[in-house]
Homo-oligomer: A and B are copies of this chain.
Amino acid sequence: MRLLLVLLLAAAAAASVANAGAESVLRSVTDVPDADALFCDSWMLSVETGNAGPWRQVPARCGASVRAYMEGDRYASDSAVAAAESLAFASQAFASGEGGAKPAWVFDVDETLLSNAPYYAQSGWGATQTSVESHLSAQTSQYVDPSPAIRSHGEAISSFLASGLVEFNETSFDAWVDVAKAPALPSSLKLYNELQGLGFHIILLTGRSESQRNATEENLLFAGYHSWEKLILRQPSDIGKTAVQYKSERRAVMEVEGFKILGNSGDQWSDLIGLPVSTRSFKLPNPMYYIS
């Protein structure tokens, strides 16, 4: 009786709804919004879901939104929730023995374990420079000669960082990498330590090149990471491969070596897709640049 009643009511209700108030539940927007903040929030979501596909730089109108995101609560919060979800899965998977003898977790490095936020902050958070990691374009360097006042070290450097005079590109990013002082993404460091506590084998798989091994190890230690199982960097033979191809090939090797890749954390979809995939993948936020 109750079921019949519900069916009748639902049917009648739906008919009524369709004629009267139902459409009003949905805003009838078919075009992308004009307002920058609304559009940019939706654009950033589309980057995180992968809908945006390949892109070269943050849309000019979204510079302020990306900056607000990176400097505000959301970047930290989104990263922390991703880490919490990673740990929840890891704990359950580890407890169930899903990982076998060699349960492994793969981490990307840049914008995953380490944050290059201090570097990107200087270039409008991705809105005014060519993505240094995308290798999609080969623009001529256009350094603006800094004023003599900031050519010395010490506090003058703050002026350099604040000046916004330098257009960043791959060369200056490599210089930043060599300095080896990028801070940890706080929630990733916490996750990393918790995974080690559980007994995961931690494998770092980065698009950085083998020539950057020393600087990368130094930076990871500086930021508080230690005791990784492997740090895999691009070899000369990997040059020209997409991140998807390079990283997939390396994950295949891990499987041959007996690792069960339960989790994979990366800020780019190219860290996560491609066969073999991990049991669960965790996309960390990055509205600043895209790597294919």
Interface residues of A (CB under 8 A from B): 2-3, 5-7, 9-18, 20-23, 25-33, 38-39, 41-43, 45-46, 48-53, 70-86, 89, 115, 117-119, 121, 141, 143, 145-146, 150-151, 153-155, 157-158, 160-161, 166, 171-172, 175-176, 178-183, 185-187, 189-190, 222, 280-283, 285
A145 to chain B, nearest CB (A): 7
Give the distance to chain B from A68, nearest Cβ to Cβ, in Å. Answer: 13
Assess the A222–B175 pair: CB atoms within 8 A. no
Task: Specify which of B9, B41, B176, B283 is in contact with A14 (CB 8 Å cutoff).
Answer: B176
In contact, B187 and A30 (Cβ under 8 angstroms): yes
Q: Which of A26, A45, A157, A282 has the most CB of B within 10 A?
A: A26
Contact status B81-A10, CB under 8 Å: no
**B residues in contact with A25, CB < 8 Å:** 70-71, 115, 117-118, 121, 183
Please state if A84 and B32 are interface contacts (CB–CB under 8 Å): yes
Question: Per a CB cutoff under 8 Å, which of B26, B74, B175 touches A6?
Answer: B175
Which of B27, B52, B70, B85 interacts with A51 by CB under 8 Å?
B85
Q: Secondary structure of the A side of the interface?
A: helix
Of the residues B17, B27, B80, B179, contact of A32 by C-beta under 8 Å: B80
B171 pairs with A29, CB closer than 8 A? no
Distance A72 CA – B27 CA, assembled complex (angstroms): 8
In the complex, which residue of chain B has the Cβ closest to the Cβ of A275? B275
A211 to chain B, nearest CB (A): 15
Looking across the interface, which residue of chain B has its beta carbon closest to that of A222?
Answer: B18
Tell me which residues across on chain B come within 8 A of A18, comparing CB atoms. 179, 181, 183, 222
